[in-house]
C-alpha cells in the first residue's frame, strides 16, 4: 500500500476510553490497538479498570502500527454507596507508588470473586472459580466473566439478566467492592504525572445541575483536571450540559467509547454519537494541561 493511500485511511479521530483483557475487555491490549488502527484512529487511550498491566503491550503495538497509545487507567472509587470512576491519562505507569496502590485494589478484587461465587453456589448455581478464570482469558477476573459463565451454563438468558438478578448492587449474590475514596485516586494519578478526569458523569445519578457542579468543584479542589463529556451513552442534552460545566469551571473535556469488545457488544471502538467531535484536539489539550501543571512533555 502506498504511503499516500495510508494517509487517506488515517483520520484525526481518537478514542480515550477503552478496555482490554487486562481488565474486563474481551480483546488483548495489542488487539485493541490493531482495532484502533483498522478504525483509522490517530490516538487511543487504554484505560483498564484499576490496572496498568496492559499498557506495555499496548504501547509496543502502538509503536509498531503507528497509533499513538496514551497510557491510562480507570480507577473505581467510593461515592455515596455507589461507584465513581476516575480516568487517568499519560501515566508514568512505572511509578512505584501507583503500582503499590493498584496492588491493594488487585488483592481486594481477588478476595471478592470467590465470595460472589460462594453466594451463587449457596443459591444453587453450580459454577466454579476455575470456569470463571478460564473465560477471563488470563486477565483480571470480574463480574462480566461470572456473568458469561452463568449465561453459558444456562442459568440466565442474557448477560444483563445475570447482572439484574445476581451481580448488580442489590442483586442476590452481590458483594461490595473495596474502593479508595476519590481523593486518593486523584492523588495516585497525579503522583504518577497523570491527568485525572471524571468518567461518564451520568452514572453518578446526580439529580440536578447544582449537585453536579458542587461535586465537580469539590473534586477540582482535590486536583481533578477534566470531565468525560463525549461518551456513547450520554444523550445530546447531557453532553451539552457537561460541556457547559467544563467551560464554566475551566475543566478539560475528554471522550471515549468505553470499548469492552464482546463484553459490551453494543459499543464499537472509536464510535460514539458525536464522533465527529472526538478529535485529536482533546489529546492536545491533555498534553498542554500536563505541561502547564507538571512541566512535563
Regarding 85 and contact with Zn ion (CB under 5 A), the answer is yes
- Closer to Zn ion by CB, 125 or 144: give it: 144
- Give the whole-angstrom CA distance, residue 172 versus residue 157: 17
Contacts with Zn ion by CB under 5 A: the residue count is 4
Among residues 224, 251, 275, the alpha carbon closest in space to that of 15 is found at: 275
Regarding 264 and contact with Zn ion (CB under 5 A), the answer is no
Biggest alpha carbon–alpha carbon distance for the chain: 62
- Give the whole-angstrom CA distance, residue 120 versus residue 123: 5
- Give the whole-angstrom CA distance, residue 181 versus residue 178: 10
- Alpha carbon 139 to chain centroid, angstroms: 15
- Closer to Zn ion by CB, 67 or 199: give it: 199
Regarding 258 and contact with Zn ion (CB under 5 A), the answer is yes
What is the smallest separation between the CB atom of 8 and Zn ion, expressed in angstroms?
31
What is the smallest separation between the CB atom of 63 and Zn ion, expressed in angstroms?
24
Of all residues in the shown chain, the one whose CB is closest to Zn ion is 85
- Closer to Zn ion by CB, 119 or 273: give it: 273
Q: Which stretch binds Zn ion (CB under 5 A): 80-88, 143-151, 170-178, 271-279?
A: 80-88
Regarding 79 and contact with Zn ion (CB under 5 A), the answer is no
> Reduced to 3 states, what is the DSSP secondary structure of residue 159?
helix
**Grid cell digits, residue 141:** 477476573
Pairing of β 82-89 and β 195-198: antiparallel
Regarding 199 and contact with Zn ion (CB under 5 A), the answer is yes
Among residues 242, 154, 170, the alpha carbon closest in space to that of 202 is found at: 242
- Closer to Zn ion by CB, 74 or 239: give it: 74
Phi, psi of 80, rounded to the nearest 5 degrees? 25, 65
What is the smallest separation between the CB atom of 244 and Zn ion, expressed in angstroms?
22
Regarding 241 and contact with Zn ion (CB under 5 A), the answer is no
- Closer to Zn ion by CB, 85 or 234: give it: 85
Residues lying near Zn ion in the complex (CB under 5 A) are found at 74, 85, 199, 258
Amino acid at each position: 500500500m502506498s504511503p499516500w493511500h495510508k494517509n487517506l485511511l488515517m483520520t484525526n479521530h481518537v478514542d480515550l476510553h477503552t478496555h482490554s483483557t487486562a481488565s474486563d475487555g474481551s480483546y488483548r491490549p495489542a488487539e485493541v490497538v490493531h482495532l484502533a488502527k483498522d478504525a483509522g484512529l490517530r490516538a487511543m487511550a487504554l484505560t483498564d479498570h484499576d490496572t496498568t498491566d496492559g499498557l506495555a503491550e499496548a504501547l509496543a503495538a502502538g509503536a509498531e502500527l503507528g497509533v499513538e497509545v496514551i497510557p491510562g487507567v480507570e480507577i473505581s472509587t467510593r461515592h455515596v454507596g455507589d461507584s465513581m470512576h476516575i480516568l487517568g491519562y499519560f501515566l508514568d505507569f512505572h511509578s512505584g507508588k501507583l503500582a503499590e496502590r493498584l496492588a491493594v485494589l488487585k488483592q481486594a478484587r481477588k478476595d471478592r470473586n470467590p465470595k460472589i461465587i460462594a453466594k451463587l453456589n449457596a443459591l444453587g448455581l453450580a459454577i466454579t472459580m476455575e470456569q470463571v478464570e478460564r473465560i477471563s482469558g488470563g486477565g483480571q477476573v470480574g463480574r462480566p466473566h461470572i456473568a458469561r459463565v452463568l449465561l453459558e451454563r444456562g442459568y440466565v438468558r442474557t448477560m444483563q439478566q445475570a447482572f439484574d438478578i445476581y451481580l448488580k448492587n442489590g442483586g442476590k449474590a452481590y458483594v461490595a467492592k473495596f474502593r479508595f475514596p476519590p481523593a486518593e485516586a486523584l492523588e495516585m494519578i497525579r503522583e504518577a504525572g497523570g491527568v485525572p478526569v471524571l468518567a461518564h458523569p451520568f452514572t453518578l445519578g446526580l439529580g440536578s445541575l447544582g449537585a453536579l457542579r458542587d461535586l465537580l468543584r469539590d473534586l477540582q479542589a482535590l486536583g481533578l483536571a477534566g470531565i468525560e463529556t463525549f461518551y456513547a451513552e450520554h444523550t445530546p442534552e447531557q453532553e451539552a450540559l457537561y460541556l457547559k460545566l467544563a467551560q464554566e469551571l475551566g475543566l478539560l473535556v475528554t471522550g471515549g467509547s468505553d470499548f469492552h469488545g464482546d463484553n459490551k457488544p453494543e459499543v464499537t471502538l472509536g464510535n460514539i454519537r458525536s464522533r465527529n467531535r472526538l478529535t485529536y484536539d482533546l489529546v492536545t489539550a491533555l498534553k498542554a494541561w500536563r505541561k502547564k501543571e507538571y512541566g512535563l512533555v
